[in-house]
């Protein structure tokens, strides 16, 4: 009776200890205290208990020649030690603290740290073909304590893992400790996860490197996911890997589509693929708009021959009053030249030319860059008060760009106001003087855009206050955004400004709701600026956007702004159409 009471008391103590240790390890895989494992095995029975939970064994414990043998694989897994079958060598490999053990049943031998012992002295193969090891090995090689109750024919095994230290005597340095937690243990699908870094260096020298495994900003599948962290200190000492499990419940906070739109800042790029675009953004309804045009400023576009192969006059027309001069050209000759705009006064009175705004760029071989930089310069709209007076019957150089070499291009804008008629000529030449216009030929039209257009500004008023589904505005498709008509006096024919180059778009919304405004390029390569409520936004911030590559967030509104104003001009070198996507947001 006393023996039974003593046995029950021991079991109660062990169970209590296990409960304390197992609670500490519910979510973290690494800790300074590693806890205890409690196992009950019954002779010749497949039922066993691991930490109070019943399990079924492939092979039971058994007595062979008065010696107790227990299942090796089960014990190795339960105690966190390696027990693996090597198919190539046909050997069982075991790794325990301080010992590397190889059991070779074919050759009836056991190797312990390179020393051979007879196989039968340590192990046996059950009738089910499972490896059994002698119970006495537990104390010697697995660091476990055991007792055998002959009356109950039961083996009790207790194993306590002792953590390894982190101090390195040879270097006088300690390993850092990786550790973290979450702001909360359960998150919804698509809910941003807050990671709380608790790592430290016992030497107080700081952590210099972090390596995460499984870490995500948010998870989009319900379940439990392991996340691990390893850190390094300044001496290159590496911590043990620390792992925690995060639980994602089957409730949605944000979908995979919504998440980047809500969480990325203005200027952020959202990577997409064809299926995502096709399923979510390809056929969005168009946001209604009221369109008006400004015909007070005549637009002269010299974009052909875009790549000229000889020197000459690229385009020529007159301006009286307000005008905009726009040119985009590539040097296709084999020598360096300059692009100039000549101003000729054919009247009998002097004419004053005032320049009110400009956009210029240094010559470059990158077409997207020159279009982007000239557009940025123009949209900045630095105040200008430059003026020049052209005497009657005289020709002056209005503007001259730096020399540019074969393959390089230039792009320029000028807004001008004249108090009389001036003939502006865009010329490519190596010598600029007052006789240049008389010495250069008119170059033939070879495609692209060339002509004079009455519309230089398009105004779109939109209602962005109450829409509830993602919507869009299309720019540059020639249909919902028509290309502006014009006339080429050199060819004497009507033309279209395909792409509306040189035209400024002004998009205005009163009292916009809370939303994100994004750009999607699907006509080809795009690089260009937008002006949002007076602030320049580069799209993209570096490089270019290719068709279907992704979307960039141009703006986010809070629902408290008085208005949203977007200003844009199609950058040279970029392809159209593009979409402006207006995505409603809620309090999430």
Kind and range of the H or E run holding 556: strand 550-558
Domain limit, last residue, from 97, 126, 160? 160
Same domain, 464 and 552: yes
Ranges assigned E (strand) in 240-303: 242-252, 269-271, 289-294, 298-302
519-558: burial string, b at 16+ Cβ within 10 Å, e else: bbbbbebbbbbbbbeeeebebbeeebbeebbbbbbbbbbe
Residue (of 487, 355, 485, 351) closest to 423 by Cα position = 351
Q: Does any domain span residue 299?
A: no
Look at residue 8 and tell me if it is in a domain: no
pLDDT computed for residue 86 by the predictor:
83
121-125, long-range: CB within 8 Å, 24+ apart, which pairs?
123/69, 123/72, 124/64, 124/69
Give 169-186 pLDDT, tens digit per residue.
Answer: 766 788 899 999 999 989
pTM above threshold 0.85: no
Count how many Cα atoms sit within 13 Å of the Cα of residue 72 in the half-sphere of its side chain: 25
Say how many domains are in the chain: 4
190/251 Cα distance (integer angstroms)? 9
Please give the pLDDT value at position 419: 96
- Domain limits for position 191: 167-253
Q: How far apart are CA 541 and CA 528, in angstroms?
A: 9
Low-confidence ranges of the chain (pLDDT < 70): 1-35, 138-139, 162-168, 170-171
Phi-psi region of 223 (alpha: psi -120 to 50; beta: other; left: phi over 0): left
Compute, in degrees rounded to 10, the torsion defined by CA atoms 60, 62, 68, 72: -30
* Cα R_g (the chain), whole angstroms: 39
Of 528, 204, 255, the closest CA to residue 372 belongs to 528
State whether 287 and 320 are in the same domain: no
User: What is the C-alpha to C-alpha distance for residues 278 and 336, in angstroms, rounded to an integer?
Assistant: 46
Per-residue model confidence as pLDDT tens digits over 440-462: 999 999 888 999 999 999 999 99
Residues 175 and 225 in one domain: yes
Count CA atoms closer than 13 A to 515's CA, side-chain side.
Answer: 25
| DSSP state for residue 2 in the 8-state scheme | H
**Long-range CB contact pairs, 541-545, < 8 A, 24+:** 541/267, 541/269, 544/368, 545/519, 545/521
Task: Assign residue 318 the CATH number of its domain.
Answer: 2.60.120
Query: Do 108 and 189 share a domain, yes or no?
Result: no
């Amino acid at each position: 009776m006393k023996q039974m009471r003593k046995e029950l008391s021991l079991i109660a103590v062990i169970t209590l200890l296990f409960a304390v240790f197992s609670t500490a390890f519910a979510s973290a895989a690494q800790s300074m205290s590693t806890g205890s494992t409690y196992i009950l095995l019954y002779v010749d029975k497949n039922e066993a208990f691991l930490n109070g939970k019943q399990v079924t064994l492939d092979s039971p414990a058994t007595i062979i020649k008065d010696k107790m043998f227990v299942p090796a694989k089960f014990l190795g897994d339960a105690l966190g030690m390696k027990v693996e079958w090597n198919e190539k060598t046909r050997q069982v490999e075991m790794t325990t603290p301080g010992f590397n053990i190889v059991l070779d049943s074919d050759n009836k031998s056991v190797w312990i740290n390179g020393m051979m012992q007879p196989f039968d002295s340590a192990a046996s193969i059950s009738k089910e073909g499972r490896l059994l090891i002698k119970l006495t090995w537990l104390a010697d090689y697995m660091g476990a304590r055991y007792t055998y109750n002959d009356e109950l024919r039961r083996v009790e095994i207790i194993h306590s893992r002792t953590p390894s230290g982190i101090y390195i005597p040879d270097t006088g340095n300690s390993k850092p400790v990786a550790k973290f937690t979450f702001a909360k243990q359960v998150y919804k699908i698509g809910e941003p996860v807050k990671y709380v870094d608790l790592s430290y260096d016992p030497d107080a020298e700081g952590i210099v490197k972090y390596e995460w495994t499984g870490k995500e900003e948010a998870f989009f599948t319900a379940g439990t996911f392991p996340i691990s962290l390893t850190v390094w200190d300044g001496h290159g000492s590496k911590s043990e890997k620390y792992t925690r499990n995060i639980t994602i419940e089957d409730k949605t906070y944000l979908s995979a589509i919504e998440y980047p739109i809500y969480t990325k800042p203005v200027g952020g790029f959202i990577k997409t693929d064809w299926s995502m675009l096709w399923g979510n953004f390809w056929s969005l309804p168009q946001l209604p708009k009221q369109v008006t045009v400004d015909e007070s400023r005549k637009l002269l576009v010299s974009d052909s021959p875009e790549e000229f192969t000889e020197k000459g006059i690229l385009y020529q027309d007159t301006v009286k009053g307000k005008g905009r001069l726009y040119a985009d050209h590539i040097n296709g000759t084999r020598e360096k030249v300059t692009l100039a705009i000549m101003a000729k006064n054919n009247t009998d009175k002097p004419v004053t030319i005032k320049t009110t705004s400009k956009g210029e760029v240094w010559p470059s071989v990158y077409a997207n860059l020159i279009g982007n930089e000239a557009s940025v310069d123009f949209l900045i709209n630095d105040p200008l008060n430059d003026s020049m007076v052209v005497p009657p019957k005289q020709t002056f150089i209005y503007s001259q760009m730096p020399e540019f070499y074969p393959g390089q291009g230039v792009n320029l804008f000028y807004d001008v106001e004249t108090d009389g008629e001036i003939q502006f000529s865009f010329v490519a030449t190596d010598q600029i003087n007052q006789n240049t216009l008389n010495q250069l030929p008119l170059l033939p039209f070879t495609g692209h855009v060339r002509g004079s257009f009455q519309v230089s500004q398009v105004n779109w008023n939109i209602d962005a206050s109450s829409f509830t589904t993602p919507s869009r505005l299309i720019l540059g498709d020639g249909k919902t955004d028509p290309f502006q008509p014009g006339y080429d006096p050199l060819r004497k024919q009507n033309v279209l400004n395909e792409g509306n180059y040189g035209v400024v778009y002004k998009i205005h919304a009163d009292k916009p709701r809370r939303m994100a405004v994004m750009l999607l390029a699907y006509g080809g390569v795009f690089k260009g600026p937008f002006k949002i409520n007076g602030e320049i936004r580069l799209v993209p911030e570096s490089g270019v956007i290719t068709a279907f590559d992704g979307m960039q967030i141009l703006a986010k509104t809070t629902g408290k702004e008085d208005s949203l104003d977007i200003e844009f001009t199609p950058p040279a070198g970029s392809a159209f159409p593009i979409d402006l996507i207006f995505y409603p947001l809620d309090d999430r």
